[in-house]
Structure 1
Amino acid sequence: MYFGILIALVPLCIGYLIKFKQEKWLAKINQILSWMVYFILFIMGSELAQLDDLTTNLQHILFYTAIIFVCTFGSNFIFLMLFDLFLPWRTSHTKQSYDSRFKMILESLRVCIALILGFIVGLFPLFIWQYSENIIQVVLVFLLLLIGISLRSNNISLKQILLNKVGIATTLIVIISTFLGGIIAALILHLPLPVGLGMSSGFGWYSLSVILMTKAQGPIIGSATFLNDILRELCAIIVIPSLIGRYKLTALGLCGATSMDFTLPILQKGAGITIVPPAIVQGFLLTLLMPIFMTLFNYGF
């Protein structure tokens, strides 16, 4: 139990102690992280290809994904919408057009291509697949180390986090409603509650959730977790333009951990610069808490 928690937290904390100020180093770190995402999903796809009774397992993955997504994303939407109705957040920004939304969706779908390629290659009996678990272990440590460095280098102080009430409020609502959805999904799927909570606690961060859940619960649960987080990102991109004008808190909360990076430009385009601080705070907190929650649910119960 403690090894599983430490292997997630120690590299993240060590990385958070390191700060780069030069833009060229930050760009290199982001580029490496991007490559690692595709590599992780490639390995994930190869593990899927080696499952026994593949057709039945794929049906389980899709069924698990549908249930966990409807429960978690639906719960997020209901709670955030209620929050928006009773405590609306108004800004004077004029919403702009979203001519690049289709391009962003296609960019998200690229990660699925890496998974499919890994699946195809995994059908061939290569000797390297016997070392896949060790490879994932090394990649996980390196990934968390770089993420910690990236978080610290974004110059987000504790004061900024503690004083931004909007970002903290949406973060709390997202966490509580997501966990509620995870519990409901676990009951529907007849899974242990910690597994349902673990599957739900990715908050859209598919590159890390897939590796943590696969390592702890196997490729079937890991794949369903990955697809759930991918669907969150895709649906957030689709619904933000419709919600951002009147329901800004809902649009922000549905982005989950991606509000700090991938969905930040589309949020800013719809609500202006005022939404940037809470978006960064929400993304930062969920990014920081996600590996803690997921490892606790997988190893702490």
Structure 2
Amino acid sequence: MQTPQNLDNLITLVLVLTPLFIGFALPLNKTLIHYSEKMLGYLVYIILTLIGIELAQVEGLGNQINDIILYVGVLSVLTIGCGLAGLMIFDRLVPWRPLVKTATTEHKVSIRGSLIQVFCVIFGFLIGGVLPVSMMPPENTMTGLLMFLILLVGIGLNGSGITLKEVLLSKRGMQTSVIFTLSVLMGGVIFWLLFDEVTLPQSLALASGFGWYSLSAIVMTDAYGAVWGSIALFNDLVREFFALLFIPLFMRKYPSAAVGLGGATSLDFTLPVIQQSGGLGIVPLAISFGFIINIVAPVLMVVFASFG
């Protein structure tokens, strides 16, 4: 017999996946795609600010700062390192080069967007420190924003022009996605082995963000509290910083690993870096990989978080 907790987990999974597929199934036009992309950018800033507000409400946070820094540092090294190692071995054993070769352009790394995201969290934290309890956001605000976020991502996936058939027929994209997912989850297992206070499902849930910081922060906050939500957030932001800096370095010898560095962001935020450093021929792999990871990440996070 299904328990109420299991029912809640099922409802959460439906709430996450339904908007994604609705967005992917909607008939689109250029106007809708344009405004959905614009709203998605603003929505991410709003969500990050709210996460900062919630973090400010945690009692005794100052005593946990050192732990948060430690957890983020170790989790980042393990998830990025294991994913990178797995895909580098894959590139060595099964070499691959893009069919279309184009001259690469010099890439200027811009971390401005990432810095703005960090600023939003800090800004929210400062507001949360002075905001009266009566003015705190309603309890289900984050859930509503999460559903809207997923809907906009679904519209974005739909507007990318790639079909599920094209994604599934990309052998290299499927292989890269599977190896990346298993390797990063192995990093989560190692994280669990290192810290007694963390459960295995919790470690796997934290590892399953795959760079999707806005989603992982909300899911982890709902499941484990604002402290762990902030750990998930900064872990995935570290991946974004790392990807921006090191994708060009790995692209020449390890193209699959370079694409994998971006995780879920390889479909959007880090795609220009991937294209500029690897040429147009690498784009289909990045889109296929990013598409799959964007679907897998919310499923794995919710499923793992439901086990405690």
Fold agreement, TM-score > 0.5: yes
Query: For the Cα contact (< 8 Å) 1:4–1:299, is it kept in 2?
Result: no
Give, in angstroms, the shift of residue 90 of structure 1.
2.6
SS of the aligned residue for 2:26 comes to coil
Instruction: State yes or no: 1:148 paired with 2:154.
Output: yes
Residue 5 of structure 2 corresponds to: none
Q: 2:129 matched to which residue of 1?
A: 123
- Structure 1 CA distance for aligned equivalents of residues 31 and 82 of structure 2: 40
Indicate the residue corresponding to 2:106 in structure 1: 97
For the residues of structure 2 that align with 1:222 and 1:129, how far apart are their CA atoms? 21
**What is the CA–CA distance in structure 1 between the aligned matches of 2:159 and 2:134, rounded to whole Å?**
35
What is the rounded CA distance, in whole Å, between the counterparts of 1:2 and 1:246 in structure 2? 43
Q: Secondary structure at the match of 2:131?
A: coil
**Aligned equivalents of 1:253 and 1:216: distance in 2?**
27
Sort the Cα spacing of 1:71 and 1:129 in 2 relative to 1 into closer, same or farther, 3 A. farther
| 1:83 shift after superposition | 1.1
- What displacement does 1:286 show? 0.5
The CA deviation at 1:126 is 2.1
Query: Match of 2:175, as an amino acid?
Result: A
Q: Report the Cα offset of residue 129 of structure 1.
A: 5.0
Given that residues 168 and 278 in structure 1 are in contact (C-alpha distance below 8 angstroms), is that contact kept between their aligned partners in structure 2? no
1:277 & 1:46 partners in 2: Cα distance? 39
User: What amino acid is the match of 2:97?
Assistant: R
What is the deviation of 1:127? 3.7
1:57-110 alpha-carbon deviations (Å, 9 max, x no partner)? 222221111111111111011111111122222344443211x21xx2122111
Residues in 1 aligned to 2:162 and 2:134: alpha-carbon distance in whole angstroms: 41
**Amino acid aligned to 1:74:** G
Aligned residue number for residue 4 of structure 2: none
Read off the aligned partner of 1:43 and give its amino acid letter: L
Q: Hey, what does 2:18 align to over in structure 1?
A: 10
Q: TM-score w.r.t. structure 1 length? A: 0.94
Amino acid at match of 1:97: E
Which aligned pairs between 1:69-218 and structure 2 lie closer than 5 A?
A: 69-91=76-98, 92-98=101-107, 100-101=108-109, 104-190=110-196, 191-218=198-225
* 1:273–1:125 Cα change, 3 Å: closer
What is the letter of the counterpart of residue 155 of structure 1? G
- Secondary structure at the aligned position of 1:97 is classed as coil
Are positions 1:50 and 2:52 aligned together? Answer: no
Determine if contact 1:244/1:271 at 8 Å carries over to the other structure.
yes
Residue 300 of structure 1 deviates from its aligned partner by 4.8
Instruction: Kindly indicate whether the alpha-carbon contact (under 8 Å) linking 1:60 and 1:220 is maintained by their aligned counterparts in 2.
Output: no
Cα deviation per residue 1:148-178 (whole Å; 9 max; x = unaligned)? Answer: 2221222221221122112111111110001
In 2 relative to 1, CA 110–18 (structure 1 residues): closer, same or farther, beyond 3 Å? same
Deviation at 1:215, TM superposition (A): 1.0
1:19/1:153 contact within 8 Å kept: no
Give me the CA root mean square deviation. 1.5
TM-score, scaled relative to structure 2? 0.92
Q: Distance in 2 between matches of 1:261 and 1:113?
A: 21
Runs of 5+ consecutive residues of structure 2 not aligned to the other structure: 1-8
Letter of the aligned partner of 2:50 in structure 1?
I
8 A Cα contact 1:203 1:290, kept in partner? yes
What is the identity, as a one-letter code, of the residue corresponding to 2:25? L
Go from structure 1 to structure 2 and tell me whether the alpha carbon gap of 1:242 and 1:110 turns closer, same or farther (over 3 Å shift): same
CA distance in 2: counterparts of 1:42 and 1:285, whole angstroms: 28
> Residue type of the partner of 1:96?
T
| Matched-pair identity in % | 37
For residues 247 and 129 of structure 1, the distance between their equivalents in structure 2, rounded to whole angstroms, comes to: 50
Find 1:233's aligned residue among 233, 240, 247. Answer: 240
Distance 2:65 2:12 in 1: 27
Task: Say which is worse superposed, 220-229 or 119-128, in terms of deviation.
Answer: 119-128
After TM superposition, give the deviation of residue 133 of structure 1 in Å. Answer: 2.9
**Deviation digits for residues 263-297 of structure 1 (CA, Å, limit 9, x no counterpart):** 11111111111111110011111101111111101
- The equivalent residue for 1:294 is 301
76-85 or 227-236, larger mean C-alpha shift: 76-85
